[in-house]
Amino acid sequence: MPAGESGEMKLDKKKNSALGIYIHIPFCKHRCRYCTFLSDDETGDKERSLYVAQLRREIAGKSELYAAGRVVDTIFIGGGTPTILPIAEIDDIIEAVYSRFCVADDAEITIEANPGTVDREYLRGVREVGANRISFGVQSFDDGTLRRLGRIHTSREAVESYDAARAAGYGNVNIDLIFGLPDQSVGSWAGDIRTSLGLRPDHISFYDLQLEEETPLYEDVISGRLEALSDIEDRRMYHSAVDALTVSGYEHYEISNAALPGMKSRHNLKYWSMDDYLGFGLGAHSYMDGRRFVNTEFRSDYIKAGSSEQMVSSYYNNTPGDEMSEYIWLGLRRTDGISLTDFSERFGEDFMKLYASEMENLIERKLLMCDGDKLRLTALGLDLSNVVFREFV
């Protein structure tokens, strides 16, 4: 671990004091076969209404601790499936934030949606109560792949939902895709990319599936019912997507994300840039002034909590060494990498001296490259990013 672990290093104030807000909605119509997210498909209207009411109380409570002197410039309502809620409850949540925090006029306000759970009228209603960006969990445009994943929508419904969002007035639409799936072919993945590019969303996220134990999809692979994809095919899929997106005018700005010019996810950039954000709801994470804390993952405990402090299950105060480590590996997720000057100004340390041995090793292995003031992953480093990140943890 580099110098500064003792806590003696003085950290400069962050350049961006604007605050991001994440709100977790842990409800779904049906749990997907690969999912390990904190969500539940066995709830009724009463349980969901109780949860929204507690969300409002949490927002009020945390605002007393963190709202002063802060401007909120991004709000992200994720899940789960937020669009399982009626518009009035989405309105209640957004109104609670506006009533307790100073929200910028140009704030990016994202809501996640699953195709098949929305129509034009619903999407227009959500836009009218404040959402100006929508993120669709499409995952694939191949119906066979969707069935294997346990998704509730079809390829046709995905396209219809996208068209409905455009008709409802959304000028900022993201599509989520997954590759590296058991029994997925390179050709099927190429079709997903072609269909996505044909729709021309403003932003595309393309995630490499990580098979998690105790999920039905994992059991299918372990039992031999499905065949895991080889590493070679997985990497072919990844690089073919990057190439196709780049040729089509998208900027590949983070390992798993690409956007049209000016349409990067402002909220997600906060995570990769170590800007402050507050999380509300079940299992939500927060990072404020070098302190990380996370809410309870037990819905009964969350609902019964009498204060926002009681909803938090753990706190951790980052050491200076933690701050530097996280700044590096989170920043290296961005394809433009990290600024050595910014590192020096933020931590009062010379990066090249502090991490001399790690740098020599990673550059020699062609995993990292230094381009002037910027340090970033090479093409090989993108494939072996976890190997690089471990050097700084």
Q: 251-254 and 277-280: which strand pairing?
A: unpaired
Q: Does residue 154 have a pLDDT over 50?
A: yes
Beta strands in 297-373 (DSSP E): 312-317, 338-339, 368-371
Beta strands in 188-311 (DSSP E): 203-208, 251-254, 257-259, 277-280, 285-288, 291-295
Q: Retrieve residue 200's tokens.
A: 């021309």
Measured distance CA(195)–CA(124) in Å, rounded? 24
Model confidence at 117, in pLDDT bands (50, 70, 90)?
Answer: confident
3 state SS of 253: strand
Measured distance CA(133)–CA(202) in Å, rounded? 10
Measured distance CA(105)–CA(114) in Å, rounded? 27
Which is higher by pLDDT, 80 or 14? 80
Length of the chain: 393
Residue 308 C-beta-side C-alpha neighbours within 13 Å: 20
Domain assignments of the chain as residue spans, ordered by start: 19-271, 320-393
Q: Which of 9-23, 143-157, 337-351 has the lowest mean pLDDT?
A: 9-23
Q: Do domains 19-271 and 320-393 have the same CATH topology?
A: no
Please give the radius of gyration of the chain, using alpha carbons only, rounded to the nearest integer: 21
The pLDDT value recorded for residue 39 is 58
Question: Is this prediction's pTM over 0.85?
Answer: yes
Q: Does residue 353 have a pLDDT over 50?
A: yes
The pLDDT value recorded for residue 367 is 97
| % of residues, the chain, pLDDT over 70 | 92
Which is higher by pLDDT, 82 or 220? 82
Are 22 and 78 in contact by the 8 Å Cβ rule? The answer is yes
Span 73-98, mean pLDDT? 96
Residue type, position 276, single letter: D
Q: Does residue 257 have a pLDDT over 90?
A: yes
The verdict on domain 19-271 having CATH code 2.40.128.20 is no
Residue 9 to residues 5, 319, 357: CA-CA distances in angstroms?
8, 9, 21
Model confidence at 12, in pLDDT bands (50, 70, 90)?
Answer: very low
Q: Does residue 195 have a pLDDT over 50?
A: yes
Residue 365 has phi, psi (to 5 degrees) of: -85, 5
Measured distance CA(194)–CA(199) in Å, rounded? 9
Q: Does residue 5 have a pLDDT over 70?
A: no
3-state helix/strand/coil string of 290-315: CEEEEECCCHHHHHHCCCHHHHEEEE
Q: Which of 12-16, 69-73, 296-300 has the lowest mean pLDDT?
A: 12-16
> CA angle 80-85-88, nearest 5°?
145
The set of residues, in sequence order, having a beta carbon less than 8 Å from that of 338 and lying 6+ positions away, is 327, 328, 331, 332, 374, 375, 376
Measured distance CA(164)–CA(119) in Å, rounded? 6
Q: Judging by beta carbons within 10 Å of its beta carbon (0-12, 13-18, 19+), is residue 377 exposed, middle or buried?
A: buried
Span 354-380, mean pLDDT? 94
Architecture of domain 320-393: Orthogonal Bundle (1.10)
Among 5, 21, 35, 188, CA closest to 109: 21
> CA angle 311-315-317, nearest 5°?
155
Q: Does residue 352 have a pLDDT over 70?
A: yes
Q: Does residue 9 have a pLDDT over 50?
A: no
pLDDT in tens, 213-241: 777 777 877 888 877 888 899 999 999 99
Chain mean pLDDT for the chain: 90
Q: Does residue 6 have a pLDDT over 70?
A: no
Biggest CA–CA distance in the chain, Å, is 59
The set of residues, in sequence order, having a beta carbon less than 8 Å from that of 242 and lying 6+ positions away, is 252, 258
| % of residues, the chain, pLDDT over 90 | 78
Beta bridge partners, 58, equal: none
